[in-house]
Amino acid sequence: MIGEKGRGTMGQNIQRGGHRFEAHEGLAAPFMFDNVSTDVIAPALTNLTEGLGAPRAGLGSNRGATAFANIRYDADGSPRPDFVFNQEAYRTASIMIVGKNYATGSSRVTGVTRPLVAWGVRVYIGESFGPIFLTNAVQYGVLTVELPRETLSEIVEWVESHHGVRMRVDLERQLIEMPGRDPIPFETDPRVRNKLLNGLHDLEEIEPHLPAARTLREQDMQERPWIYQPGDGR
């Protein structure tokens, strides 16, 4: 189960693909900034303060420890009270309510997505997401839900007035359930939904089409031979 942030049990060897997601119940935390970059979410290890250990030390340890480090800690390594997960009400949250274009920027699967899984957030509810993060999240069994700003504001309002009350995000029924109010429906790409519900790996999806891929490439070798013999005959 998810414990204190950065102390999740999933460490370095989180496999890519094949993660099942049906529903998740947990505390939610509002983090309503727009265009939060992966540079903020998962800073380059060398850009961390010495208080978090010498550069490179993070590589072999729990990556969740460095998530949001530059806005989570002061230069001396002490937690900053203005960072949401450092506040008592949200310390163990596993659902994040975010703004527009969340996790824009780098891809850095090992640097961003894995630490975030290790960090323990399983659901992101936001207005929109960075293009690469969307793909990566699916691969690691993390659900992203896109909702309009007004709906997000309603959710944040509920969260802020229901400290300690758990929210349930149900992918099967595509509902966000919050005790004391009507559930909020959401939509997901049918393929992504199916993939998460069944814990399918990309390779399982690709496998039946490999003969077709071979045929296309053989035809392509005739049509575009230069692609397959780069620099030959020079």
Partner 1 sequence: MNRRDFIRTSVGAGLLVSAYPRSLFARFRAQERRGTMFDKIWDAHVVANLGGETDLLQVDRCIGGSPTQVMRLVREGVELRNPEMFYNVPDHTVSTSPERYDDPSLGWGWQAYEELAGEMRDMGFTKAFGQSDPRFGIMHVVGPETGLSQPGMVLCAGDSHTCTHGAMGLISWGGENSENILRTGTVIRRRPRTMRVNIVGTPGPGIRAKDVILRTIAQLGTDSGTGYAVEYAGPVVRALSQEGRFSVCNLAVEMASPTGMVSPDDTTYEYLAGREFAPSARYWDQAVEFWRNLPTDDDAVFDREETVDMTGVEPQVTWGINPEHAIGIGERIPDPDDAPPSKRATYRQAIEYSRLTPGEPILGTPIDEVFIGSCVESRIGDLRAAAAIVEGRRVASTIASAWVVPGSNAVKAQAEAEGLDRIFRDAGFEWRESGCSKCYGSNGDYVEPGHRCVSNSNRNYIGRQGRDTNTILASTTTVAASAIAGSIADVRTFL
**Could you give the 3-state DSSP secondary structure of residue 153?**
helix
Q: How far apart are CA 61 and CA 66, in angstroms?
A: 10
213 near partner 1 (CB under 8 A): yes
- How many Cβ atoms are within 10 Å of 144's Cβ, its own excluded? 20
- Please answer whether residues 51 and 72 qualify as being in contact, where contact means their C-beta atoms are separated by less than 8 angstroms: no
205 near partner 1 (CB under 8 A): yes
220 near partner 1 (CB under 8 A): yes
128 near partner 1 (CB under 8 A): yes
Q: Which residues contact 34 (CB under 8 A, 6 or more apart)?
A: 99, 100, 101, 127
The residue type of 210 is: L
1 near partner 1 (CB under 8 A): no
14 near partner 1 (CB under 8 A): no
190 near partner 1 (CB under 8 A): yes
206 near partner 1 (CB under 8 A): yes
# binding residues, partner 1 (CB under 8 A): 66
User: Nearest CA to 67 among 125, 4, 135, 118?
Assistant: 118
For partner 1, the closer CB: 181 or 217: 217
E runs forming strands in the chain? 23-26, 28-31, 95-98, 123-126, 143-146, 167-170, 175-177, 184-185
Tokens representing residue 133 in the block:
């993060």
80 near partner 1 (CB under 8 A): no
Least separation in angstroms between CB 202 and partner 1: 5
200 near partner 1 (CB under 8 A): no
Element of type H or E holding 193 = helix 190-198
Least separation in angstroms between CB 224 and partner 1: 7
Least separation in angstroms between CB 212 and partner 1: 5
Least separation in angstroms between CB 215 and partner 1: 9
Binding site for partner 1 (CB under 8 A): 16-17, 32-35, 37, 39-40, 43-49, 55-56, 70-71, 75, 100-101, 104-109, 128, 130-133, 135-136, 139, 149, 189-191, 202-203, 205-206, 209-210, 212-213, 216-217, 219-220, 222-234
